Amino acid sequence: MTRALVLADEDDAAGFLGERAADHGVELVVARRDPAGYPPPLDGFGLVISMGSVWSVNAAGSVPWIAREIDLVRNAAASGIPVLGVCFGSQILAAAHGAAVRTASRPEFGWIRAGTMDEDLIPDGPWFAWHHDVVDLPEGAQLLARNTCGIQAYRAGRCLGIQFHPEVDVTIIERWIRHLGHDLAAAGMDADDVVAASRDQVESARHNAHRLFDHFMHLAHAGEV
């Protein structure tokens, strides 16, 4: 059985990706982002999944665990361990490959289209977004999706970065709104409308998340990510 190290703010962060990981026989081991003893060593893990966060990668200078997570992802990639970076995790992955992470010209919340360039690898949507930062394309990486906000997906060696959130179900979205609803209000969005749209989109989102994880696993096993 493949063991995947999941780097996350919450224990249940993997959502739909966790569902599909179980179908593939992948055991998820969650490491909560915490200043004490984080992150754990890579020993025994065949995959790394870096999930979203309330933090910005650009806080690495003042938040030591962020720099340590960048180092872990860099070491995983250099060791040939496939990495899936989701939103903040995509930004960690970009930083690990020497690319800049910047404040977006506009934040992106709610259901989006990714502007995919490879529908087989990255379905165009619907995907859920919640981010203030965007990445530059790492040197040598392949751009897979980009919309008017910025880069939404890229491949760097055996690693895949995605700026949106394939993992989210309605429960996760409602939890984010309870804690971060001020983001929606500042963007002029109604939380009830976002939840209603999420209920409409959830089955399509689950299907797309499963497709994305299936292809990631296929490429990881083939050594082509």
Kindly give the interhelix angle for 191-222 and 170-186, rounded to the nearest 10 degrees: 120
Contact 154, 175 (CB under 8 A): no
99, HSE (Cβ side, Cα atoms, 13 Å): 22
Using DSSP's 3-state secondary structure scheme, residue 107 falls into strand
| Residue 159 designated active-site | no
What are the φ and ψ backbone dihedral angles of 53, each rounded to 5 degrees? -155, 160
Residue of 97, 149, 165, 215 with catalytic role: 165
For the residues of 159-207, what is the DSSP string, one character each? EEEESSBTT--HHHHHHHHHHHHHHHHHTT--HHHHHHHHHHHHHHHHH
Residue of 69, 108, 167, 207 with catalytic role: 167
Gap between the Cα atoms of 219 and 205, Å rounded? 21
| Residue 87 designated active-site | yes
Q: How many CB atoms lie within 10 A of CB 12?
A: 13
Residue of 69, 87, 131, 159 with catalytic role: 87
Given the structure tokens 């502007």, which residue do they identify? Answer: 115
| Residue 167 designated active-site | yes
For the residues of 118-153, what is the DSSP string, one character each? -TTTS----EEEEEEEEEPPPTTPEEEEE-SSSEEE
Gap between the Cα atoms of 100 and 98, Å rounded? 7
Structure tokens of 74? 């860099």
| Residues annotated as part of the active site | 87, 165, 167
